Amino acid sequence: MKVLRAPLTDEDIRAVAEGEEVLISGVMYTARDAAHRRLAEAAARGEDWPVDLKGQILYYTGPCPAAPGEVIGPAGPTTSGRMDPYTPLLLSRGLKAMVGKGRRSKEVLAAMEKYGALYLVTYGGLGVLLADRIKRAEVVAYPDLGPEAIFRLEVENFPAIRPTASYLQR
């Protein structure tokens, strides 16, 4: 089992085989629909993004509020396809990996191939257990979006799997 640690390189991406389980340690960012939309709008206006995603891993989650004494609340994956309209833009700017659940569009698969990126799936319905792998969390952009803000997470042994091409192309 491989350990991935951002910033990722093209070599890191090529080293993960289809169907292979990985553990992510280090930094991972979050973003959902609303944050993706804001990033796209900022790009259209020619503005810099509040976070440099080059070489980074983006987790599609909107974590629940943390209970007292906890780092973060449950943080399970959301359906990745909702980010598909924005994903080619993020990949063109250097995003190297995405973590979520479900299939991706043909446009996203083509952009992943073009820019050398990796899509990983993680376990839906296990947000409480996945939150245990998050050791630190802070909002770094768009705090007004609440759980859809962009968080910087520090994770340890966060589990994911590279899905097979046959799964993605169904």
Q: Measured between alpha carbons, how far is 68 from 74 in angstroms, rounded to an integer?
A: 13
Q: Measured between alpha carbons, how far is 2 from 14 in angstroms, rounded to an integer?
A: 12
Kindly report the average pLDDT of the chain as a whole number. 96
- Which pLDDT score is estimated for 170? 64
Cβ-Cβ contacts under 8 Å for 4 (sequence gap 6 or more):
12, 16, 22, 23, 24, 25, 57, 97
As a whole-number percent, the residues of the chain with pLDDT over 90 amount to: 94
pLDDT tens column, 145-165 = 999 999 999 999 999 999 998
pLDDT tens column, 56-93 = 999 999 999 999 999 999 999 999 999 999 999 999 99
**CATH top class, domain 2-164:** alpha beta
**What is the DSSP code (8-state) at residue 7?**
S
- Which pLDDT score is estimated for 167? 87
Q: Measured between alpha carbons, how far is 108 from 85 in angstroms, rounded to an integer?
A: 8
Is the predicted pLDDT of residue 11 greater than 80, yes or no? yes
Domain ranges of the chain: 2-164
pTM of the model: 0.96
- At residue 57, what is the residue type? I
H or E element that contains 22: strand 21-30
pLDDT band at 52 (very low <50, low <70, confident <90, very high): very high
Q: Measured between alpha carbons, how far is 9 from 96 in angstroms, rounded to an integer?
A: 8
Give mean pLDDT, residues 13-34: 97
